[in-house]
Amino acid sequence: MSTFIYSPNHGRIVFGTGTLKELPAELEKLNASQPLVLSTPEQLSQAESVSALLHGKVAGIFSETRMHTPTDVTRKACDRATTSKADYVISIGGGSTIGLGKAISIRAGLPHIAVPTTYAGSEVTPILGETENGVKTTRSDPNILPSTVIYDVDLTLTLPVYLTATSGINAMAHAVEALYAQNTNPVISLMALEGIKALAESLPVLAKNPFSKSARHSAFYGAWLCGTCLGHVGMAIHHKLCHTLGGSFDLPHAQTHTIILPHALSYNAPNIPDVMAALAKALPGSEGDAVRGLNVLLDSIKVDRSLKSLGFKEEDIDRAAELALRKPYYNPRKIEQPRIRELVRRAWAGEDARVDL
């Protein structure tokens, strides 16, 4: 076994069914009395349910969260936290809302409790992605990590089937790249494969029966493991492409990850044979081919496979490929512009991924 370093992140995890009711006790442990509750406009009712659970003892509700954590929204939310004298932040929602909570936490020095309602995984990473002037950048800092995460399976029962599928593949992408990260290690690889397997088995079930509690439980468990992987290791070309497409072209986060993942994996496949073999075992229907396994999985959960379905224009393919090459992340295979351009074109067209780039 090769030499490695594993430094686990700190943070408290409360996982189960009906666990949102533990929120008052968690706040009491943390000596918090005036949390600012965050949500998107669409999830305002969930923020209001948190306020009701706390008997209205909150600094207020900020429901103006937007995708990709624009810095102008963060500044507005920080001002609201200051004027309301908030001593804590509670985010309830998906990756966008949790991202805003992390941004406020690191900027204003306020502790953060995250209550995820999707499978994004942001709640267990010390990584913050922010967008300013059409460019999305990321940074990592242990202080970005929420102090407590409450996973309540009940909160995912009403997650629409399409968002269930795309946020689940978004989570899976974290674990796939963790398997070939520059600083991966055996512990993370075990967690990654377990998380991928849990999602690959539960997402097709949820596509047919979104109210299956056992499948919801398995998917949330997988998402937690996959997000934890991302929180410990670096990213590669998959995340670089998704950050580019999201930050510079305003494409939706989870859907973009879903479309790009099999193509990014196929790009790196020639240089990661051991990872491909392990992945194939975790993906039902792969028949020994991990790229095939991902194609089969995406077909079974009936998600959009093309960037053009998200509004991405064919004439922007060259610019996206060029932007993705700027300040490149580590990648197990050399990044070459013509091949990346073809990867983006295939994703735009909605073609099945294939290992011939």
pLDDT of residue 134: 79
Angstrom distance (rounded) from CA 198 to CA 207: 14
Q: How confident is the model at residue 47 (pLDDT cuts 50, 70, 90)?
A: very high
Q: Looking at the predicted structure, is the pLDDT value of residue 238 above 60?
A: yes
pLDDT digits (tens, 9 = 90+) for 113-123: 999 999 988 89
Angstrom distance (rounded) from CA 257 to CA 238: 8
Point out which residues pair with 132 in neighbouring strands: 135
pLDDT digits (tens, 9 = 90+) for 52-111: 999 999 999 999 999 889 999 999 999 999 999 999 999 999 989 999 999 999 999 999
pLDDT of residue 129: 87
pTM: 0.90
Q: Looking at the predicted structure, is the pLDDT value of residue 247 above 90?
A: no
Domain boundaries of the chain, sorted by first residue: 12-156, 161-349
Is pLDDT larger for residue 59 or for residue 133? 59
CATH architecture of the region 12-156: 3-Layer(aba) Sandwich (3.40)
Which residues does 232 contact at the CB level (< 8 Å), separation at least 6? 6, 7, 8, 9, 178, 188
Instruction: Please compute the mean of the pLDDT values over residues 195-223 and round it to a whole number.
Output: 97
pLDDT digits (tens, 9 = 90+) for 166-203: 999 999 999 999 999 999 999 999 999 999 999 999 99
Q: Which candidate, 200, 296, 199, 317, places its Cα nearest to that of 251? A: 317
Let me know if domain 161-349 sits in CATH 1.20.1090.10. yes
Q: Looking at the predicted structure, is the pLDDT value of residue 146 above 70?
A: yes
